[in-house]
Amino acid sequence: MSALINIAVFGVVGAVMMAALIGLLLATTARRSGAWVASVFSTVSVVLLIAVPALAVVNVRATVTGTGLGQAWLVAFAVVAIVYAANLFLLPLVRRRFAAVRDDRGARELRVSWSMLAGGVVLCALLAVCATAVAFPFT
């Protein structure tokens, strides 16, 4: 498989897993769960954002000959960026749900800004470095 196929497959799988995780988070907020639920979901999200790109790096290193560190990082970055884009598309749903549960006017007015997008690109780059560092020795 080529690197682009790995990006598409693992990106879609990661986005679907993140959407399912966000759906579970929204279902638990209906019961006004404690703060521990948010911390558990945050931990699982970070694990997901490192594990799925790491698996993509392992797969691309195993199937594409001559894959170096730079190409492995680019694959991990693209996979993380796809998952981050799925999060941005689900942000209005999460915002409305939390505003309804907590009756918070500020949560209703939350918008995606340029600084959020720029910070997301930096975060995607850092998560890609982590995923590449985790996966590169195993291939």
Dmax (CA) of the chain: 55
pLDDT at res. 32: 64
pTM over the 0.75 mark: yes
Name residue 119's amino acid: G
Helix H or strand E encompassing 107? helix 105-108
Q: pLDDT tens-digit profile of 46-57?
A: 899 999 999 999
d(CA 139, CA 136): 6
Of residues 80 and 94, the one with the higher pLDDT is 80
